[in-house]
A and B are shown apart, each in its own frame.
Chain A
Amino acid sequence: MSKGYRKIFWGTILVSFLSPGGSISLVFVLIGWTILTSGIGALAEHSASGSFKRLEKVAVAAAAVSLVAGVLYELLLMRFPPIVYYPIVVMAVELILFHGIFAASYEYFSGIEDAGTARMAEEKDRSYMVLMGIALVVLSVFYTFNHSVTGVLGFFASLISKIYLLGSMHELKKACEEEKSIEEEQPTA
């Protein structure tokens, strides 16, 4: 399990901090999505419920949305002005994916009767969603009115939500590692 969360952590870093602009960053973003998807795949192998398996498809869809919209942005800016909202769409798709990861994690940890980690997943999910919600509102005002103050606030709000997400994935990874070491120390009879 910890391997899966580690991959999601590193995949998220590549996806989040390199927006698809130039061709080189596009390659990194593509690599990021691949690592992230394989991380979800790794989680799916350990989970019986199939929730993580479904999320693999969501991850592929999210990758497609972020890459295609990023490339089309420049081309469509004048012909289709609402394209300015593509980062909002990408954020919404990411929200679907990461809420899914938190929910599936909650389900998994509840299933193995690790109530503490399950509660942590549920709490992290909620805080992450609230942070993303704030970033979405502020950024959509910025994209509509090119208002510089909301642009800066939106940038920081989305940065904080990303850092919070990375911290959460790291903590879930740590929880899995701790669980594994406890299992190794006290093998079940």
Chain B
Amino acid sequence: MGEMEKNNRIFKGILVLALILILAGSGSIYYFRLDAPVFFPHYYDLRVQRDDMYAENLVLRYVTNAYDTREVTAAQFLELPEVMLFASEREEAIFSWESQEKGVPGEIHGRYSVRKVYVRNLSIPEEVQVDGKVIRNLKVQFDDGSEMTVDIGELHLYEPQRKEEESPYEHVSSSGSSDGTSLTVYRMLEELTLTETKSPLADKLKGRLDWRIDEKLPEEAVGHVYGERSLLNVSSEVLPGEDSMDAYAVFDVHPQLTFMDGEGKRFTQRFYNMRSQAENYSFSGLRAFIRERGRRDE
């Protein structure tokens, strides 16, 4: 029976190993478990449309436990309580019967899942003034009836300016690349002076976005005089960020430049294509982000 006794020892060893693995695994599950979803910081310049119901889709991202079955169904900006927003975690599904996806949404990374919330119907009633409004807090409702208020980052709302007169510059080209670079070129039709650059989120995105006007930092470019037919190049580059909070920040900024002509008339122009790219999330990266966020919230 000697050989079989050896087998019995292996058998017992494997059973003990299975038990240890289950206990250690269960311990890890509880150790990494989040009490509540954690939203990534969002830095958006958000154009508000008045006429088109589905004009702008605001996409917000958060991290929750893997296989969390709760889904966000509604959202409300605390700074704009009169505006109720429709939210869904299903792309292109405004009504439930349009939903194609089945199962729990999200991208699973280890014990966590990165989820996207599509906030729709960002049309705001005429009587509500939003230009220049900053949103920092969002109340989200889940399909199980629970709700939570989260620090969303900073959403800077603005209304597009109506163009009444002919522009003193013309658009030449715009490009955005998946490597995070973008370039927009305008041609000046008359002599213009750059008098102001406005990008309220620049400070928040120091480690993530480098944007330049003709290769110069925006503050250095102010005062530059553009001759007739000269070109204005606005370029940007997405940077990886210094820490996990920075790295996982979600942004889409639209800096505004103000020009003045010889008669003292001002013209403003927004620039686009400066947004964070699809992230390469990882379990360790998400873990570092959650810890950093928790430390800062304390």
A-to-B contact residues, CB < 8 Å: 77-78, 81-82, 84-85, 88-89, 91-92, 95-96, 99, 102-103, 106, 119, 122, 125-126, 129-130, 132-133, 136-137, 140, 143-147
- Chain A residues positioned under 8 Å from B110 (CB to CB): 145-147
- Selected from A89, A106, A119, A136, the residue in CB contact (under 8 A) with B14 is A136
Q: Add 5 more A-B contacts to A95-B14, A103-B4, A126-B10 (CB < 8 A).
A: A78-B67, A82-B29, A129-B10, A144-B25, A146-B109
- Chain B residues positioned under 8 Å from A119 (CB to CB): 3
A95 touching B15, Cβ below 8 Å: yes
Complex: chain B residue closest to A119, CB-CB: B3
Q: Given A77-B67, A137-B17, A145-B110: A84 and B29 within 8 A (CB)? A: yes
A132 touching B14, Cβ below 8 Å: yes
Name which of B22, B28, B108 has the most chain A CB atoms within 10 A of its CB. Answer: B22
Task: Provide the bound-state CA to CA distance between A132 and B7, in Å.
Answer: 13
- Selected from B14, B30, B33, the residue in CB contact (under 8 A) with A133 is B14
* Minimum C-beta distance from A135 to chain B (A): 10
The proximity string for B residues 257-298 relative to A, scoring 1 for CB distances below 8 Å and 0 otherwise, is 000000000000000000000000001000000000000000
Task: Provide the bound-state CA to CA distance between A99 and B13, in Å.
Answer: 13
- Selected from B7, B21, B66, B69, the residue in CB contact (under 8 A) with A129 is B7
Q: Given A78-B69, A146-B111: A99 and B11 within 8 A (CB)? A: yes
B108 touching A82, Cβ below 8 Å: no
Name which of A81, A95, A106 has the most chain B CB atoms within 10 A of its CB. Answer: A81
Q: Is B55 an interface residue (CB 8 A)?
A: no
B4 touching A106, Cβ below 8 Å: yes
Interface of A is mostly: helix
Complex: chain B residue closest to A77, CB-CB: B67
A125 touching B33, Cβ below 8 Å: no
Task: Provide the bound-state CA to CA distance between A78 and B26, in Å.
Answer: 13
Q: How many A-B residue pairs have CB under 8 A?
A: 87
Complex: chain A residue closest to B66, CB-CB: A146
Complex: chain B residue closest to A85, CB-CB: B22
Q: Is B18 an interface residue (CB 8 A)?
A: yes
Task: Provide the bound-state CA to CA distance between A102 and B263, in Å.
Answer: 98
Name which of A82, A89, A95 has the most chain B CB atoms within 10 A of its CB. Answer: A82
- Chain B residues positioned under 8 Å from A96 (CB to CB): 15
- Chain B residues positioned under 8 Å from A122 (CB to CB): 3-4, 7
Q: Is B68 an interface residue (CB 8 A)?
A: yes
* Minimum C-beta distance from B81 to chain A (A): 31
B14 touching A143, Cβ below 8 Å: no
* Minimum C-beta distance from A60 to chain B (A): 19
Task: Provide the bound-state CA to CA distance between A129 and B8, in Å.
Answer: 10
A92 touching B18, Cβ below 8 Å: yes
Task: Provide the bound-state CA to CA distance between A147 and B111, in Å.
Answer: 10
* Minimum C-beta distance from B26 to chain A (A): 4
- Selected from A77, A88, A95, A132, the residue in CB contact (under 8 A) with B21 is A88
- Selected from A102, A103, A133, A140, the residue in CB contact (under 8 A) with B22 is A140
Complex: chain B residue closest to A132, CB-CB: B14
19 residue pairs A–B, Cβ–Cβ below 8 Å: A78-B67, A81-B30, A81-B65, A82-B22, A85-B26, A91-B18, A92-B14, A125-B7, A129-B7, A133-B10, A136-B17, A137-B21, A140-B18, A140-B21, A143-B25, A144-B25, A145-B283, A146-B108, A146-B110
* Minimum C-beta distance from A89 to chain B (A): 7
Complex: chain B residue closest to A121, CB-CB: B4
Task: Provide the bound-state CA to CA distance between A35 and B222, in Å.
Answer: 84
- Chain B residues positioned under 8 Å from A85 (CB to CB): 21-22, 25-26
- Chain A residues positioned under 8 Å from B21 (CB to CB): 85, 88, 136-137, 140
* Minimum C-beta distance from B8 to chain A (A): 7
